[in-house]
């Protein structure tokens, strides 16, 4: 694998070519590896925290990247700036399914609308399918039109509206993509209608943060 040098998130000044003039073939999509932490983690945090209403601590990033780095994909510009990122996990869910979860997805603003996030989500779906996932879920703000459009175009459906899901009081939709026939029927009634804490979503990450901070 080529050495990509230091990764600067959305470092617009270092781009020799304006983002809109870039060809898709100029972009690189690579898988995260533990050996790349020093090179990419600061850029990953910066890119994701830019658009988040509730920034995550370093522990949250490490929680995902240490265990499921192979389900994290990055898009790089020709000058090796990090311009897109997807972070996921995959584990057995209490409903009995093997559940993938898309925890974070972001494209640097000058590069949006050219299919980068779609490509990253496709790579994550393929990787989780190859690892025998039954389904993939995520949450997104009900007002996030770009995100809803992107996921629904890829086959995700709205399974639930989560009232006041985010710390800022905003609601979320839980979206789900069934990868195997019959998965929807596996879900026991009490799980689907139960509390969302403990469901493995980003709301639970606040507890990862608290546990690490007070350890
Ligand atoms: C959501 C996000 C990741 C999309 O990244 P992207 O690389 O621009 O995505 P793509 O180009 O692959 O596709 C985006 C789709 O949304 C559409 N879209 C983009 N901006 C839009 C907007 N403001 N309103 C409506 N649709 C929009 C695009 O047209 C495209 O759909 P189409 O192919 O049917 O035209 C990006 O906007 C982002 O980083 N947002 C901030 C972080 C975020 O919200 N993450 C998702 C949280 S789960």
Q: Rounded to the nearest whole angstrom, what is the distance from the C-alpha of residue 96 to the centroid of ligand 1?
A: 32
| Tens-place pLDDT, residues 109-142 | 999 999 999 999 999 999 999 999 999 999 999 9
pLDDT for 14 equals 46
| Average pLDDT taken over every residue of the chain | 85
Q: Rounded to the nearest whole angstrom, what is the distance from the C-alpha of residue 126 to the centroid of ligand 1?
A: 20
The span from the CA of 27 to the CA of 130, in Å, is 24
| Tens-place pLDDT, residues 86-96 | 999 999 998 89
pLDDT for 204 equals 73
Mutating to test ligand 1, I would choose from 24, 146, 149, 202 the residue with most ligand atoms within 8 A of its C-beta, which is: 146
Q: Rounded to the nearest whole angstrom, what is the distance from the C-alpha of residue 106 to the centroid of ligand 1?
A: 9
User: Would the pLDDT of 197 be above 50?
Assistant: no
Which residue's entry shows tokens 């995100």? Answer: 147
Cβ contacts of 122 within 8 Å, gap of 6 or more: 154
Mutating to test ligand 1, I would choose from 111, 112, 136, 170 the residue with most ligand atoms within 8 A of its C-beta, which is: 112
Token digits of residue 191: 């799980």
Q: Rounded to the nearest whole angstrom, what is the distance from the C-alpha of residue 186 to the centroid of ligand 1?
A: 31
Token digits of residue 62: 């490490």
- Name the residue at shortest CA distance from atom 28 of ligand 1: 113
Order of strands, sheet of 135-141, starting from the edge strand that comes earlier in the sequence:
28-31, 73-76, 82-92, 98-107, 135-141, 172-178, 157-162
Total residue length of the chain: 215
Judge whether 162 and 173 are in contact, CB under 8 Å: yes
Domains in the chain, CATH or no CATH each? 12-213 (3.40.630.30)
- Name the residue at shortest CA distance from atom 8 of ligand 1: 112
pLDDT for 181 equals 87
pLDDT tier at 78, thresholds 50, 70, 90: very high
pLDDT for 194 equals 41
pLDDT tier at 13, thresholds 50, 70, 90: very low
- Name the residue at shortest CA distance from atom 25 of ligand 1: 146
Helix (H, G, I), strand (E, B) or coil at 185: helix
pLDDT tier at 7, thresholds 50, 70, 90: low
- Report residues whose beta carbon is within 6 angstroms of any ligand 1 atom: 51, 105-107, 112-118, 138, 140, 144-147, 149-150, 153
| Tens-place pLDDT, residues 174-195 | 999 999 988 888 765 444 444 4
Closest ligand 1 atom to residue 102 Cα is 48
């Amino acid at each position: 694998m080529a050495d990509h040098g230091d990764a600067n998130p959305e470092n617009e000044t270092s781009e020799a070519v304006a983002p809109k003039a870039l060809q898709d073939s100029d972009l690189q999509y690579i898988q995260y590896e533990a050996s790349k932490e020093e090179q990419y983690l600061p850029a990953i945090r910066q890119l994701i925290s830019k658009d988040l209403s509730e920034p995550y601590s370093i522990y949250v990033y490490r929680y995902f990247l240490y265990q499921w780095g192979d389900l994290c994909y990055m898009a790089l510009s020709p000058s090796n700036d990090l311009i897109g990122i997807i972070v996921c996990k995959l584990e057995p869910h209490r409903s009995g399914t093997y559940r993938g979860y898309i925890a974070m997805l972001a494209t640097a603003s000058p590069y949006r609308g050219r299919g980068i996030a779609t490509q990253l989500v496709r790579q994550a779906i393929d990787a989780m399918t190859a690892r025998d996932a039954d389904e993939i879920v995520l949450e997104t703000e009900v007002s996030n039109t770009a995100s809803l459009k992107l996921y629904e175009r890829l086959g995700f459906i709205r399974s639930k509206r989560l009232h006041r899901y985010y710390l800022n009081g905003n609601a979320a939709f839980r979206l789900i993509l069934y990868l195997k026939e019959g998965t929807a029927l596996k879900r026991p009634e009490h799980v689907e209608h139960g509390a969302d804490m403990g469901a493995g979503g980003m709301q639970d990450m606040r507890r990862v943060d608290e546990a690490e901070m007070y350890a």
